[in-house]
Structure 1
Amino acid sequence: MALDLSRRQFGKLMAGTGASAAFLQLGRTAAIAAPVAGYKAMVGIFLFGGNDGWNMVVPNDARFAGYAASRGTVALTQSSLVPLAGSAYGLNAALQPLQQIWNEGSLNLVLNAGTLYQPLTKAQYQSSPLLRPVNLMSHADEQAHWQGLRARDINVDGFLGRLNDRAAATTLPGLISFNGTQLAVLGKTSSPLVLPSTGTVVQNAATGNSADPAVFARNSAISAFADGSSYGTVTKTTGAGISSAYAQASTANTILASTSSTVDQYFVRPGTTTALTSDISRQLLRVARMIEARSTLGQARQTFFTAQGGYDTHANEAPTQTALYTDLAQAMLAFYNAMKALGLNENVTAFTMSDFGRVYKGNAQNGTDHAWGNNHLVMGGALKSKMVYGTYPSTTLGSSDDITGDGRFLPTISQEQYLGPIAAWQGVASADMPYVFPNWATFSGNTLGLFQG
């Protein structure tokens, strides 16, 4: 029987079997730095859809009146805010579990960050379109800008993937995604290990002696490529990559299916023993398990990508945000407590990202539309205690911060200023920062001082 697979089908086959997790490893050079002393991990949490960070972090001082007037249909009540001691801000009530982390000095706020090609004023934005990120306020483009960090060019690889290109080689990749093969985790010469948030890794379409021709063809292709020694050098090399991917999956499955993990007990609803079941909590639980197994894996550095969807709140924002934030905050607190229990709170930093912020002025459907600048959270014991970075925009619509008159705020902190210090803390060498962050030269002189020491 002849086997006829298109290039598209072959790509889907590779992704389905998990082979892509190892296949691109074949392109890595031998000149990879040895692991450095001390363990560190960074955990990205992408909030897909465009999180309304203006209702995540709210001014809790005299500016609240302006906030309420300008936000209109989506404004929160001041009495509902969760105060952050020592700051002028409060959190959305659904994020109340994060107050503990703030009080313990392990949560920071980053205000009005976003995609920037270069620092901009409102006048420059209006007069010079070529200085703006391309296709602003488009989900796909802004997700690519956040993950690839090229604001005016096509993004084919991501900053976590490029970080992984420069990382020390280990049996299991130090970069793991629990939210699919997102752009952020694709390197130029390396590939992440992509793992599910539930269950274990299985060989796609491997269903035994199926009579279905399509299933039979996929099974035959998998078997042929996994044992390609008789088909020449290229196929033999490909087969070695697939076999390596299966071996990686086997190692990961041992960790994911373990019944003796010490971190699971922390992933429960606050004040109960009821297990958290949201997808973001399952992802962060599995991150915690991989961190717990760091010594077994021989990894001095680990990088993780997780995500939560549903933030495109054009209507009925309040109940949607409440549900999402409740899950997010419970998952983050559980992860934080697990890291403390492992004695690794100062060794792990988690941070949020999102497509873009939302329009400050609420719409008639009690929702918000696409905008630009946004607020973000950073969590970890190595951070400076209880810090707020950046400047909250003027709550007066049409101000110099507002490019459209309804509250689409021009970011004043770039992704490089925000994410660069986290990568440097994790161990990216100064010489490699322009590789990981293509626009590093533009913003490297004014990065956030997130960390102690």
Structure 2
Amino acid sequence: MDFSRRDFSKFIAGAGAAAALGQLARTSAIAAGGTGYRAMVGVFLFGGNDGWNMVVPTDSRYAGYAASRGTVALAQARLTTLGGAAFALHPAMAPLNAVWDEGALGLVLNAGTLFAPLTKATYQSRSDLRPTNLLSHSDEQAHWQGLRARTDNFDGFMGRIADRSATPATPALISLGGSNLAVIGQTSAPLILPSTGTLSRTGYTTGSSAKNSAIDAFATAAGMGTIADVTAKQITAAYTQATTANTILTATSGVDAFFVNPTTGATLTSDVSRQLLRVARMIEARGSLGHDRQTFFVTQGGYDNHSAQVNTDTSAGTHANLLGDLALALSAFHRALKSLGVADGVTTFTMSDFGRTYKGNAQAGTDHAWGSNHLVMGAALKARTVHGLYPATTLGGADDVASEGRFLPQIAQEEYLGAIARWHGVTDTDMPYVMPNWSTWTTGGRGPLGLFA
């Protein structure tokens, strides 16, 4: 028999048996609050998105923006204007203009990782109040996804929501971006889907009858004891989930028609668009899956642009290409949700490691910074609303903890993500579990952003 120890290890990892053992300690599920279908879709922009070029002031602050940004400043005449707002989007994000006009797009200004409320003075004098290892990709990704700014993160806020939610046969927590920290719960496991192709059994080889028989035998675990029996049942459930998901992913669906470039009619092929297409398909199948709440994690990489962020024409370049793909994908996703009649039941939001320095560098790029701007999308939002305050554009000023435009965030992740979690149905009782630092941001006049109508 050629079912080796390595094959066995790969098989166990693929089936999620470790997560299955965690289910032994699971407490009774708490149903999500609220009524009607709701889904939250987090889009993590890996590398540190330059939110200062994604959202640009168009009033008197534009002059300060242009002067301080230097090599990476966008021409005002090229910006994607947003009716009724003193801000515009990057020129590459024009597909989102119609979503704004519909009242289904909002802006969140200068949000980021915070352990406690800070001023520049307290930042300089109280290192014990700062998030640990600021400007580190891995640490700030963990801070955003785990929401513990000064201690280690071993699980994420989406996973913790799943811990306290009902548990249908096919998980309602679904990642298209792999097993990132955000989707790891203490007692729950996500369904992880590829952006292309279908799910298959790890270690299962066509034509290898001995190996396959061993896998099938283990999945029954007859007479192997309690732990093996529990593990085998979870593996069998994972196979069933894969079959269910594959049926949804390969079926003919009307949502596919919306994932095209509205100008050229060409099919969208970026990875972020493929992920959001699959999210739309899983939302379409919510009834057959038994989901009245769904949580999705989507990713787009490539935002660590220390050089060549812009070309000679600053409206073009690496960052423009990324934001263009993102805007087309989000716009297509919104159109698909409208076709399904659930645009008011889905909230999509961006996250990223950190923002970039306001001052462009000599390589036409930007460096690691802190606070940044974000997008939130959904028909349940307050229409055409800007949340938060834009920092003073003077380098080295009251909002800049350095001299290059590393802006101290004014909105904590808990105030931003917490508003979405509460809308999603997380109860006040469960919020401290989902967001361990919740009490810090619900006292002293602080609280969740008023994102929703």
TM-score (norm 2): 0.94
**Match of 1:59, as an amino acid?**
P
1:274 is aligned to: 266
What are the residue-to-residue correspondences of 1:387-426 with 2, within 5 Å? 387-426=385-424
User: Which amino acid in 2 is paired with 1:293?
Assistant: A
User: Aligned equivalents of 1:194 and 1:267: distance in 2?
Assistant: 22
Structure 2: distance between partners of 1:205 and 1:195:
17
Q: Which amino acid aligns with 2:72?
A: V
> How far 1:5 sits from its partner (Å)?
3.8
Post-superposition CA distance 1:83-131 (Å, at most 9, x none): 1111111110001101111111010000000000000011111111111
Match of 1:153 in 2: 151
* 1:245 alignment partner in structure 2: 238
3-state secondary structure, aligned to 2:236: helix
Q: CA deviation at 1:30?
A: 3.0
- Contact 1:315 1:366 (8 Å CA) reproduced: yes
In structure 2, the residue matched to 1:296 is 288
The percent of aligned pairs where both chains have the same amino acid is 61
Distance change in 2, residues 1:189/1:121 (3 Å): same
Report 1:113-124 matches (<5 A). Answer: 113-124=111-122
CA distance in 1, matches of 2:4, 2:259: 47
Query: Alpha-carbon deviation of 1:3?
Result: 7.0
Q: Is the 8 A contact 1:74 1:317 kept in 2?
A: yes
RMSD of aligned residue pairs (Cα, Å): 2.0
The separation in 2 between residues aligned to 1:286 and 1:73, in whole angstroms, is: 38
Per-residue CA deviation, residues 3-38 of structure 1 (Å, 9 max, x unaligned), is: 7748xx866543334556766445432343378531
Q: Is the 8 A contact 2:25 2:187 kept in 1?
A: yes
Tell me if 1:229 matches 2:229.
no
Structure 1 residue 223 displacement after superposition: 3.9
Q: Secondary structure at the match of 2:351?
A: strand
Quote the offset at 1:441 in angstroms.
0.2
Task: For residue 145 of structure 1, report the CA deviation from its aligned partner.
Answer: 0.2
Q: Secondary structure at the match of 1:376?
A: strand
| Amino acid across the alignment from 1:148 | G
Alignment pair present for 1:446 and 2:447? yes
Partners in 2 of 1:249 and 1:380 — Cα distance?
Answer: 29
SS at match of 1:265: helix
User: In terms of mean alpha carbon deviation, does 330-339 or 232-241 score higher?
Assistant: 232-241
Structure 1 36/12 Cα, relative in aligned 2: closer, same or farther at 3 Å? farther
For residues 20 and 330 of structure 1, what CA distance do their matches in structure 2 show? Answer: 38
1:251-279 Cα shifts (integer Å, max 9, x gaps): 111100102x1211101111343211111
Q: What is the CA–CA distance in structure 2 between the aligned matches of 1:97 and 1:25, rounded to whole Å?
A: 43
Native 8 Å contact 2:32 2:426 kept in 1: no
Cα deviation, residue 188, structure 1: 0.6
**Is residue 40–residue 300 contact of structure 1 (8 Å, CA) maintained in 2?**
yes
TM-superposition CA deviations, 1:297-352 (whole Å, max 9, x none): 11110000001000000000021111111110000000000111111111110000
The answer as to 2:91 corresponding to 1:93 is yes
Counterpart Cα distance in 1 of 2:2 and 2:373: 55
Aligned to 2:302: 310
In the alignment, the residues of structure 2 paired with residue 98 and residue 65 of structure 1 have an alpha-carbon distance, to the nearest angstrom, of 25
Structure 2 residue identity aligned to 1:411: P
Structure 1 gap ranges (5+)? none
The separation in 1 between residues aligned to 2:195 and 2:343, in whole angstroms, is 23
Give, in angstroms, the shift of residue 156 of structure 1.
Answer: 0.2
Counterpart position of 1:107: 105
Distance 1:314 1:221 in 2: 50
Alignment match, 2:313: none
Per-residue CA shift, 1:381-423, capped at 9, x if unaligned? 0000111111111110000100011110000000000000101
CA separation of 1:20/1:107 partners in 2, compared to 1, >3 Å: closer, same or farther?
farther
Aligned pairs for 1:180-191 (under 5 A) are 180-191=178-189
Query: Helix, strand or coil for the counterpart of 1:97?
Result: helix
1:2 CA displacement:
9.5
Shift of 1:236: 1.4
Give unpaired runs (5+ residues) of structure 2: 311-316
Corresponding residue for residue 176 of structure 2: 178
Counterpart for residue 41 of structure 1: 39
CA distance in 2 between partners of 1:166 and 1:449 (Å): 24
Local SS of the residue matching 2:108: strand
Q: CA offsets, 1:205-249, max 9 Å, x none?
A: 3113459xxxx87x6774453222232111111111111100111
Tell me what 1:284 maps to: 276
Amino acid at match of 2:320: T
For the Cα contact (< 8 Å) 2:162–2:185, is it kept in 1?
yes
Judged with a 3 Å threshold, the aligned counterparts in structure 2 of structure 1 residues 11 and 438 are, in CA distance, closer, same or farther, namely: farther
Q: 1:26 to 1:94 in 2, by over 3 A?
A: farther
Secondary structure of residue in 2 paired with 1:254 = helix
How many aligned residue pairs are there? 444
CA–CA separation in structure 2 for the residues paired with 1:332 and 1:37: 26
Kept in 1, the 8 Å contact 2:80–2:89? The answer is: yes
Could you tell me how far apart the structure 2 residues matched to 1:414 and 1:360 are?
19
Quote the Cα distance in structure 2 between the aligned partners of 1:142 and 1:50: 9
CA contact (8 A) 1:267 1:331 kept: yes
Alpha-carbon distance between aligned partners in 1 of 2:8 and 2:203, rounded to the nearest angstrom: 13
TM-score by length of 1: 0.94
Q: Distance in 2 between matches of 1:134 and 1:345?
A: 38
